[in-house]
Amino acid sequence: MRPYTGKQPILAIESSCDETAAAILLPPGLILSSLIASQAGEHARFGGVVPEVASRNHLLAIDPLVRRALAEAGITPRDLGAIAATSGPGLAPALLVGVSYAKGFALALGIPYLALNHLEGHLLSPFLGRESIPHHIALLVSGGHTQITEVRGPGNYTVLGRTLDDAAGEAFDKVAKLLGLGYPGGVEIDRLAESGDPAKYAFPKAMMERGERETLDFSFSGLKTSVRYFLERNPELSKSPQGMADLCASVRHAIVEVLIQKTARSCEAAGLNDIAISGGVAANRALRSGLTELCQGKGWRLHLPSPELSTDNAAMMAFAAIHHLTAGESSTLVREIEPRWRVGPETPPCPPSAEFRR
């Protein structure tokens, strides 16, 4: 097997859920090509992602997508220095497609293969192209994951808090389904909320206690239940454009306020000045503007991924792979997928500062 020199382009494949993605990067982070085959339309009729449908579509899409990525990058397979693939967390049938393809490709070319953690790709995405990653607090919010992580550098992570049930993006999608907005519904809620009053209705903001019971974990399942009961009592609201706008704005506020406050507490407790946000919900306008306002008021630095790097993509996976490959790391071809692969150890939250005890 040829060793990776740190100078050749690498191919990364992402297939953890319902997006088939392939990207080719040249170190330290020049995107030569980045392609995504979306399955959103396929799963919309089911109201969510069906693993078997996702894996079948990955099988159909992956080889043509990789060939297109190579053509757009203007290189041949022999020019690649390594191949990486998302190995977890994610849907097992979907992960198997991308990992198996990447292993076979790497074996045929005699180049290193690297198994990647999907969450790490998101965590590093706001810094794509940079050779160094600052010590910071990262808020990762997507349809499947919501967590706060202290990032000291590539591969050096400590999870400070995570959701105990629904992820933030999942909560948005479930509420959207209750409102008849279809799938994926988070974007539609965000759009409707722009013309609504976020203070019109009060929905629960779970696990926001102070003092001894204070935690950096999240819980959004109660919000969905609260909205369901609210709609049963007020069925006319879903038929009124302004009522829908106010309802969406109030739901968005309940989710976003928790995310912002817990991120602020984490940064304050850790004594850091940098916050990064990643994942599909990073595109939410209220979350972006709220964190921007927070950081401006505190004198902190906010790092945001570009819109195309917020949702699942292979470019962010390739960037994470570059850091590991240049450090001499690779994976064996017998390594299995890890559908529940977590990133970094867990730690109890640091005591919040006096400012956040009030």
Q: How far is CA 35 from CA 12, 48, 121, 216, in A?
A: 11, 22, 16, 35
Structural domains for the chain? 10-128+309-326 (3.30.420.40), 136-304 (3.30.420.40)
Task: Specify the pTM.
Answer: 0.90
| Separation between Cα atoms, residue 263 and residue 143, nearest integer Å | 18
Q: Please report the pLDDT score of residue 357 as a whole number.
A: 30
In tens, the pLDDT along 285-302 reads 999 999 999 999 999 999
pLDDT of 105 higher than 80: yes
pLDDT of 336 higher than 50: yes
pLDDT of 183 higher than 80: no
Read off the pLDDT of each residue in 59-65 and give the average, rounded to a whole number: 96
The more confident residue out of 4 and 182 is 4
pLDDT of 354 higher than 50: no
Q: Please report the pLDDT score of residue 353 as a whole number.
A: 37
Read off the pLDDT of each residue in 9-18 and give the average, rounded to a whole number: 95
Q: How many residues does the chain have?
A: 358
Q: Which of 62-76, 124-138, 172-186 is the least confident region?
A: 172-186
24 three-state secondary structure: strand
Q: Please report the pLDDT score of residue 210 as a whole number.
A: 66
Q: Give the DSSP H/E element, type plus range, for residue 47.
A: none
Read off the pLDDT of each residue in 91-104 and give the average, rounded to a whole number: 97
Terminal CA-to-CA distance of the chain, rounded, Å? 59
In tens, the pLDDT along 184-232 reads 789 999 999 999 999 999 999 988 876 656 799 999 999 999 999 999 9
- Cα dihedral 270, 274, 278, 281, rounded to 10, equals 80
Q: Which two tokens stand for residue 36?
A: 């995504």
Average pLDDT over all residues of the chain: 91
